[in-house]
Structure 1
Amino acid sequence: MPRDLHDCTAAELATHSVESLDRDTAPSDAAAWLTENGYDAAPVYADDDPVGFIHKDDVTTDDDGDTLDDHLTPLTIDYMISGDAAFPAVLDALIEHPVYFLGSHNNVTGILTRADLNTAPARIYLFDRITYLEEHLRELILDQAPNWKDTPVTPQELDDIHDRYEDAQAANVALDEIHYAQFSTLETIVTSVEACWEPCGFTNKGTAETRLHDVTDLRNDVAHANLLIENTDSNDFLTEGRTTDNLYNTLDTITDILDNLQDAGYHP
Structure 2
Amino acid sequence: MPRNLYESTAAELATGSVEDVSYDTAPAVAAEWLATNGYDAAPVERDGDPVGFIHKDDVDDADTGDTLEAALTPLTIDYMISGDTSFSESLEALIEEPVYFLGGHNRITGVLTRADLNTPPARMYLFDRITYLEEHLRALISAEVSEWRQTPVSADEIEGIEDRYADAKAANVELSEIHYAQFSTLSTIVSSVEDCWRVCGFSTRGNAQSRLHDITELRNDVAHANLLVKNTDSDEFLSSGRTTENLYTLLGDIEQILASLQEAGYLPGNTVE
Bucket of the pairwise TM-score, normalised by the shorter protein: over 0.9
- The equivalent of 1:238 in structure 2 is 238
Deviation at 1:163, TM superposition (A): 0.6
CA distance in structure 2 between the partners assigned to 1:210 and 1:77 by the alignment:
38
Q: How many residues were matched structurally? A: 268
- The equivalent of 2:168 in structure 1 is 168
The answer to whether structure 1 residue 264 and structure 2 residue 264 are counterparts is yes
Contact 2:237 2:246 in 1 (8 A): no
CA distance in structure 2 between the partners assigned to 1:2 and 1:184 by the alignment:
23
CA distance in structure 2 between the partners assigned to 1:224 and 1:236 by the alignment:
25
- The equivalent of 2:271 in structure 1 is none
Deviation at 1:54, TM superposition (A): 0.3
Contact 2:237 2:245 in 1 (8 A): no
Q: TM-score, normalised by structure 2?
A: 0.97
Contact 2:16 2:111 in 1 (8 A): yes
SS in 2 for 1:163: helix
In the alignment, structure 1 segments of 5+ residues that lack a partner are none
- The equivalent of 1:221 in structure 2 is 221
- Amino acid of the residue matched to residue 230 of structure 2? E
After superposing on structure 2, the runs of 4+ consecutive aligned residues of structure 1 that deviate more than 6 Å are: none
SS in 2 for 1:57: helix
Q: TM-score, normalised by structure 1?
A: 0.99
CA distance in structure 2 between the partners assigned to 1:232 and 1:35 by the alignment:
15
- Amino acid of the residue matched to residue 179 of structure 1? H
CA distance in structure 2 between the partners assigned to 1:21 and 1:134 by the alignment:
46
In the alignment, structure 2 segments of 5+ residues that lack a partner are 269-273
Deviation at 1:3, TM superposition (A): 1.5
1:210-250 CA distance string (max 9 Å, x none):
11111100000111111111110001222111111011010
- Amino acid of the residue matched to residue 182 of structure 2? Q
Deviation at 1:83, TM superposition (A): 0.3
CA distance in structure 2 between the partners assigned to 1:75 and 1:159 by the alignment:
58
Deviation at 1:59, TM superposition (A): 0.6
CA distance in structure 1 between the partners assigned to 2:139 and 2:22 by the alignment:
58
The answer to whether structure 1 residue 152 and structure 2 residue 166 are counterparts is no
CA distance in structure 1 between the partners assigned to 2:64 and 2:130 by the alignment:
50
1:32-89 CA distance string (max 9 Å, x none):
1111111100000111111100000001111111111111100000000000000000
SS in 2 for 1:254: helix
- The equivalent of 1:182 in structure 2 is 182
1:69-118 CA distance string (max 9 Å, x none):
11110000000000000000011000011110000111000000101111
Contact 2:12 2:121 in 1 (8 A): yes
SS in 1 for 2:51: strand
